[in-house]
Amino acid sequence: MKERFAEGMRIKMLQLPLRGFIEYIPGEYAWRSVDAKGYMFVHCLWVVGQSKGKGLATLLLNECVKDARKSGMHGVAMVTSERDWLVKKKFLSKQGFESVDKAPPAFELMVKKFVDDAPPLSFTGNWKTKMSRYGKGLTVFRSDQCPYIENYVKGAKEKAKELGIKYQVVELSSCQDVRDLAPSAYGVFGIVYKGRILSYSNLVKNELSDLRD
């Protein structure tokens, strides 16, 4: 985290007993598979439990927008998905964001531009090419960007061993590794098997039971 703070990452948290936070960083250092230089990029916006439904996600996002304007950025960007836990498109649309790119299986790159002629931004793409580099076994892509990732990796490795499936772990040690190597727009974590992505978040070990080399 010290390295990320040196790159301009900021984390703002709600005061307890409220529960939520936002994490964002200048786009050239974003740990997602995006080309977003010049934009402030939101890694994570999270409000949980009884703190939901009180407008706190909007409050946190507005803090990011305010900082981005002060920093002279072109706007604010974020990856969204209708699957799993990522922020949903509907919420960002209400905050003035628009979709500028899509990636499989269900990702969209959303941006709130401060001026209409701001430079374009996009996903890095080439997903199939990136996946094809690693053969037919199970490949787990991991980074240190999120504290939950270690448990996800452990579960995938244990199940692969049980089933006798060859597996490898690809370490994503920098934001450039994420752009160059990650097989999905989520970037910081992914499980790939036989050239297709199984998950970009937690995959329960039982969900791997039908896999075979």
- CATH code of the domain covering residue 68: 3.40.630.30
Q: Does a structural domain hold residue 37?
A: yes
pLDDT in tens, the chain (213 residues): 888 888 999 999 999 999 999 999 999 999 999 999 999 999 999 998 889 888 999 999 999 999 999 999 999 999 998 876 789 999 999 999 999 999 988 899 999 999 999 999 999 998 888 888 887 778 889 998 777 788 778 878 887 888 788 888 999 999 999 999 998 899 988 888 877 787 776 665 555 655 554
- pLDDT recorded at residue 114: 97
Q: Which of 92, 123, 154 is the last residue of a domain?
A: 123
Q: Does a structural domain hold residue 117?
A: yes
- pLDDT recorded at residue 118: 94
- The enclosing domain of 147 has a CATH number of 3.40.30.120
Domain co-membership, 118 together with 136: no
Domain co-membership, 46 together with 142: no
Distances (CA, A) of 83 to 48, 186, 201, 202: 17, 12, 10, 12
Q: Does a structural domain hold residue 57?
A: yes
Instruction: Mark out the alpha helices in 44-148 (DSSP H runs).
Output: 56-70, 89-94, 127-132
Q: Which of 91, 123, 155 is the last residue of a domain?
A: 123
Domain co-membership, 136 together with 118: no
Domain co-membership, 44 together with 91: yes
Q: Does a structural domain hold residue 115?
A: yes
Q: Is 46 helix (H, G, I), strand (E, B) or coil?
A: strand
Q: Does a structural domain hold residue 213?
A: no
Q: Does a structural domain hold residue 31?
A: yes
Domain co-membership, 97 together with 160: no
Domain co-membership, 11 together with 24: yes
Residue 123 CA to residue 178 CA, distance in Å, equals 11
- pLDDT recorded at residue 213: 45
- pLDDT recorded at residue 49: 86
Domain co-membership, 110 together with 193: no
Helix (H) and strand (E) counts in the chain: 6, 12
Read off the pTM: 0.88
- pLDDT recorded at residue 157: 80
Question: By residue range, what is the domain housing residue 132?
Answer: 127-208
